[in-house]
Amino acid sequence: MIDLPDEEKEPGEKYRQLEEVIARYEREPGQLIRILQQAQDIFGYLPEEVQTYIAGRLDIPVSEVNGVVTFYSLFHTEPQGKYKINVCLGTACYVQGAREILQEFRERLDLKAGDTSADGLFTVKSTRCLGACGLAPVLTVDEKVFGQFKRRDVAALLRKYRNRAEVKSGDQPVERPGAYQEGAPAGP
Ligand code: FES
């Protein structure tokens, strides 16, 4: 099993882990996606140098690796925040103020050029319909769904996750803003 991403890990150690992955899969055809997934687990994202390294080791063009990386949304070429926030901009959410919510996140996190906050805690993106239109406006933080979210809830949500990041053991309860509801996405 491969270790989870570790920001403290030396680059040499990460490449050593990548070598293990490549050695495991290089003889099996069609394993590029699996290698890229595990490379992303190791490095946290897939920068150009990692793509080039993998292409060299598999003896395939870098363009082939890059084509796969850019095709699948699960791959990232930039560092990602500890928490991934996706604001739904589907029609039902949009008419309920989702764009203003997205803008509030971007202003509060001072996101001018990129999508990730300077402290590395948050990556904020927009997404299409999450299938929970009855809860509009909806956003997710990692796998968690927040429905009937309001622009005024943004500050409390960011505070909640900042507090969580500071909790070392990870098990203590964290105060919730309470002004919005969390729920599972509706079925198709
Ligand atoms: S439009 Fe946002 S969940 Fe459907």
Atom of ligand 1 at shortest distance to CA of 132? 3
**Which residue segment(s) compose the domain that 32 sits in?**
9-77
Predicted pLDDT at 166: 85
* Residues 61 and 118 grouped into a single domain: no
* Structural domain contains residue 186: no
Atom of ligand 1 at shortest distance to CA of 93? 2
Residue listed under structure tokens 């992955």: 21
Predicted pLDDT at 29: 75
* Residues 47 and 102 grouped into a single domain: no
* Structural domain contains residue 13: yes
Predicted pLDDT at 112: 85
DSSP 85: E
Using the mean position of ligand 1's atoms as its centre, give its distance from the Cα of residue 141 in Å. 15
* Residues 103 and 160 grouped into a single domain: yes
The domain that contains 71 carries what CATH number? 1.10.10
* Residues 104 and 153 grouped into a single domain: yes
DSSP 183: -
Residue listed under structure tokens 């198709």: 188
Residue stretches of the chain with pLDDT short of 50: 1-5, 168-179, 181, 183-188
Rounded Cα distance, 50 and 19, in Å: 11
* Structural domain contains residue 124: yes
Domain tally, the chain: 2
Q: Which residues, judged by CB distance below 6 Å to any ligand atom, belong to the binding site of ligand 1?
A: 88, 90-93, 129-130, 132-133, 136, 138
* Residues 116 and 66 grouped into a single domain: no
Predicted pLDDT at 55: 95
Atom of ligand 1 at shortest distance to CA of 88? 2
Residue 148: both structure tokens together: 């009937």
Q: What is the pTM of this model?
A: 0.70
pLDDT in tens, 165-183: 887 444 444 344 444 545 4
Helix, strand or coil, per DSSP, at residue 118:
coil
